[in-house]
């Protein structure tokens, strides 16, 4: 809104006399707050019998221009022009932008924390550990390793191309699109952007509209700190995302649900655009009996309820254990949950809220399903006004229930029981491949079998979620949990084209490759391709091993 013009017509009567005056006033709305003052309003020293005021408002609206396909096309064209100028390819530009992100996070930590709290009631400690520190770590790693990542990789050549040398050159893909998600709206937005910048690309970031405070903050901070000729943020929802997806990109990285992942992939296919999809799935945790149960339980809680209230793509989605261990495991979970979040977890300041009313309703529907509601053995209280659900534990829910068919993405934890832990492999493999799989055991053979027989994006033995903190490990899915990977050098590689380059001189030109094709040339060519030195020598002197 630009401004509002107000005309106040003030009519007062004093006895038979009347007073009519108009007092025009203009004001500007700022920061969603409006204060009206009328400095020209007369003050009277006599008593008026009656007064009335009529407000006439003339509103001048200044609407934000709609971001449609035309504007998206214009944005991509502008960024491609700047990319083609070579601006983003230099080592100096990449380093300057990475340092600016570092500076931005350092200087705006308070604002970032506040935005995350507005969107998810995320505790400050959790915001720092899972969001702010992750971005700092990614920047630090990229700045330290970037020069090495950019060096062409030498490759051995063969006798067939002698004399020659070869290398693999990492070149930026061009103009790339990053569509991020709402559960870690800061780190999952900037982590891939750091990779795209490191690789020398121009970038458009589309944050999630479901976390509006963080989305708005990212838009402001990126414009303030980074080079807007090559790095932009587009806010919005479905219409804006659709407009972006209609464009020709050189790479798209999407983090979110498998449902939307299919839409992104279909849109990318129209332009043969490569994609990295970071999706999710039902991540299992298999718990053996020969372990320190207290430590295991605390680590499971850390990878479920103590991280965004279970709204985590790599969070533990369900537990599999033996029938004998289940009661002991449940009692241990109850005890540790109370230690962490108190007797009334709905009042805990150390647990995030559910992101939206629709997500809240979806989780409640899972809990209240007829064949599930009587399986709750602990927790599950809810406060719709605060969008909070207490940690819930359910025992042996039916496999065909909604809670076992969908990724939960919330504070509900089903526990399935089996006779032997080896039976858990069949349960896991009957479902789509998960983004992460966890095993708690001291049995070395079980560890080997788990690694060999379970396919998942990532895997962690005797803990949860920490594998994503190791820069040397790729983070990505497999099957329906995603494709492609990033983190550390894998982020650099995800946004780079690995260009094969072979160098030859004008010396050593052999006639064997040119017509006419004689039997002698054929023998020599076969010998060269085989790499057998004796055969090559015999062919050169006109002899044959036959």
Query: Tell me: the pLDDT tens digits for 378-393?
Result: 999 999 999 999 999 9
Q: What is the pLDDT of residue 546?
A: 56
Q: What is the pLDDT of residue 171?
A: 98
Of 42-51, 379-388, 452-461, 519-528, minimum mean pLDDT range: 42-51
Q: Tell whether the model's pLDDT for residue 545 goes beyond 80.
A: no
Q: Are residues 248 and 297 in the same domain?
A: no
Q: What is the pLDDT of residue 101?
A: 98
Among 279, 303, 336, the domain boundary falls at: 279
Task: Note the pTM of the prediction, 2 decimals.
Answer: 0.85
Q: Are residues 153 and 230 in the same domain?
A: yes
Which residues, including other chains, have CB under 8 Å from residue 368's CB and lie 6 or more apart? none
Q: What is the pLDDT of residue 136?
A: 97
Q: Tell whether the model's pLDDT for residue 49 goes beyond 50.
A: no
The rounded Cα 175 to chain-centroid distance in angstroms is 18
- Indicate the helix (H) or strand (E) that contains 247: none
Q: Does any domain span residue 30?
A: no
Could you tell me which residues are beta bridge partners of residue 4? Answer: 27, 59
Q: Tell whether the model's pLDDT for residue 234 goes beyond 80.
A: yes
Q: Are residues 186 and 261 in the same domain?
A: yes
Bigger pLDDT: 45 vs 425 = 425
Q: Which residues of 95-120 are buried (b: 16+ CB within 10 A; e: fewer)?
A: bebbebbbebbeebeeebbbbbbebb
Q: Does any domain span residue 493?
A: no
Q: What angle do CA 478, 484, 486 make, to 5 degrees?
A: 120
Query: In whole angstroms, what is the distance from residue 111 CA to residue 115 CA?
Result: 6
Q: Does any domain span residue 13?
A: no
Could you tell me which residues are beta bridge partners of residue 54? Answer: 9
Among 279, 304, 323, the domain boundary falls at: 279
Query: In whole angstroms, what is the distance from residue 196 CA to residue 253 CA?
Result: 10
Positions annotated as catalytic residues are 278, 313
Could you report the per-residue pLDDT of 148-186, keeping only the tens digit for each?
A: 999 999 999 987 888 999 999 999 999 999 999 999 999
Q: Does any domain span residue 51?
A: no
Span 501-510, average pLDDT: 90
Q: Are residues 313 and 404 in the same domain?
A: yes
Q: What is the pLDDT of residue 544?
A: 64
Could you tell me which residues are beta bridge partners of residue 458? Answer: 436
CATH number where 163 lies: 3.40.605.10
Q: Are residues 523 and 417 in the same domain?
A: no
Computed over every residue of the chain, the mean pLDDT equals 89
Q: Are residues 238 and 272 in the same domain?
A: yes
DSSP state of 130: I
Q: Which domain holds residue 310?
A: 284-480
Span 481-509, average pLDDT: 95
Q: What is the pLDDT of residue 520?
A: 83
Span 365-381, average pLDDT: 96
Bigger pLDDT: 7 vs 305 = 305
Q: Are residues 252 and 163 in the same domain?
A: yes
Query: In whole angstroms, what is the distance from residue 280 CA to residue 313 CA?
Result: 5
Q: What are phi and psi of 402, to 5 degrees?
A: -60, -35
499 burial level (CB within 10 Å; 0-12, 13-18, 19+):
exposed
CB of 494 closer than 8 Å to CB of 193: no
Q: Does any domain span residue 96?
A: yes
Could you report the per-residue pLDDT of 292-337, keeping only the tens digit for each?
A: 999 999 999 999 999 999 999 999 999 999 999 999 999 999 999 9
- How many angstroms separate the most distant Cα atoms in the chain? 133
Other residues' Cβ atoms within 10 Å of the Cβ of residue 474: 20
Q: Are residues 247 and 396 in the same domain?
A: no
Q: What percent of the chain has pLDDT over 90?
A: 79
CA distances from 354 to 214, 267, 304, 307, 387 (A): 16, 30, 13, 12, 5
The rounded Cα 474 to chain-centroid distance in angstroms is 14
Q: Tell whether the model's pLDDT for residue 23 goes beyond 70.
A: no
Q: How many domains does the chain have?
A: 3
Query: In whole angstroms, what is the distance from residue 125 CA to residue 132 CA?
Result: 10
Q: Tell whether the model's pLDDT for residue 415 goes beyond 70.
A: yes
Q: Are residues 131 and 262 in the same domain?
A: yes
Q: Are residues 167 and 180 in the same domain?
A: yes
Q: Are residues 273 and 298 in the same domain?
A: no
Q: Are residues 404 and 336 in the same domain?
A: yes
- Can the peptide bond before residue 163 be classed as cis, meaning omega within 30 degrees of 0? yes
Span 244-272, average pLDDT: 97
CATH number where 397 lies: 3.40.309.10
Q: Does any domain span residue 345?
A: yes
CB of 142 closer than 8 Å to CB of 134: no
The rounded Cα 155 to chain-centroid distance in angstroms is 34
pLDDT band for position 470 (cuts 50, 70, 90): very high
Q: Does any domain span residue 253?
A: yes
User: What is the DSSP secondary-structure string of 268-300?
Assistant: HHTTT--EEEE-----EEEE-SSS-HHHHHHHH
Among 279, 312, 338, the domain boundary falls at: 279
Q: Does any domain span residue 49?
A: no
3-state secondary structure labels for all residues of 198-218: HCCCEEEEECCCCCHHHHHHH
């Amino acid at each position: 809104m630009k401004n509002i013009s107000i005309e106040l017509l003030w009519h007062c009567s004093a006895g038979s006399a009347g007073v009519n005056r108009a007092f025009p006033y203009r004001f500007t709305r700022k920061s969603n707050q409006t204060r009206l003052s009328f400095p020209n309003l007369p003050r009277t020293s006599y008593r008026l019998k009656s007064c009335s005021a009529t407000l006439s408002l003339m509103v001048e609206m200044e609407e934000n221009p709609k971001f449609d396909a035309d504007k998206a096309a214009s944005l991509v064209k502008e960024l491609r022009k700047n990319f083609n100028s070579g601006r983003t390819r230099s080592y100096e530009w990449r380093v300057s932008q990475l340092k600016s992100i570092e500076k931005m996070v350092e200087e705006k930590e308070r604002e970032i924390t506040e935005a995350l709290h507005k969107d998810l009631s995320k505790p400050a400690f959790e915001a720092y550990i899972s969001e702010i520190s992750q971005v700092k770590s990614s920047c630090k790693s990229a700045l330290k390793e970037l020069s090495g990542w950019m060096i062409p990789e030498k490759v051995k050549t063969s006798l067939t191309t002698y004399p020659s040398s070869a290398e693999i050159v990492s070149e930026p893909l061009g103009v790339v699109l990053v569509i991020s998600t709402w559960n870690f709206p800061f780190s999952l937005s900037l982590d891939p952007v750091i990779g795209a910048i490191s690789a020398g690309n121009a970038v458009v970031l589309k944050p999630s509209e479901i976390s509006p405070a963080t989305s708005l903050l990212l838009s402001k901070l990126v414009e303030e700190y980074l080079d807007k000729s090559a790095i932009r943020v587009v806010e919005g929802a479905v219409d804006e995302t659709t407009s972006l997806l209609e464009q020709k990109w050189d790479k798209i990285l999407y983090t979110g649900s498998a449902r939307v992942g299919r839409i992104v992939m279909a849109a990318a296919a129209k332009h043969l655009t490569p994609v990295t999809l970071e999706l999710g799935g039902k991540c299992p945790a298999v718990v053996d009996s020969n372990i320190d149960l207290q430590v295991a339980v605390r680590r499971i809680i850390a990878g479920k309820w103590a991280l965004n209230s279970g709204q985590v793509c790599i969070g533990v989605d369900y537990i599999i254990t033996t029938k004998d261990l289940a009661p002991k495991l449940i009692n241990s979970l109850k005890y540790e949950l109370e230690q962490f979040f108190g007797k009334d977890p709905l009042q805990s300041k150390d647990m995030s809220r559910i992101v939206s009313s629709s997500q809240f309703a979806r989780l409640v529907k899972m809990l209240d399903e007829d064949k599930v509601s009587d399986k709750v053995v602990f927790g599950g209280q809810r406060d719709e006004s605060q969008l909070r659900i207490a940690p819930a534990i359910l025992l042996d829910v039916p496999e065909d229930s909604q809670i076992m068919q969908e990724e939960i993405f919330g504070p509900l934890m089903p526990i399935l029981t089996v006779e032997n832990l080896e039976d858990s492999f069949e349960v896991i493999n009957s479902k789509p491949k998960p983004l992460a799989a966890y095993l708690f055991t001291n049995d070395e053979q079980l560890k080997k079998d788990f690694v060999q027989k379970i396919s998942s994006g990532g895997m962690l033995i005797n803990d949860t979620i920490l594998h994503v903190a190791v820069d040397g490990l790729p983070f990505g899915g497999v099957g329906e949990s995603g494709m492609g990977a990033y983190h550390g050098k894998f982020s650099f590689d995800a946004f780079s084209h690995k260009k094969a380059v072979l160098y030859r001189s004008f010396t050593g030109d052999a006639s064997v490759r040119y017509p006419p094709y004689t039997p002698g040339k054929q023998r020599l060519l076969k010998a060269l391709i085989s790499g057998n030195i004796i055969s090559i020598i015999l062919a050169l002197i006109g002899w044959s091993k036959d």
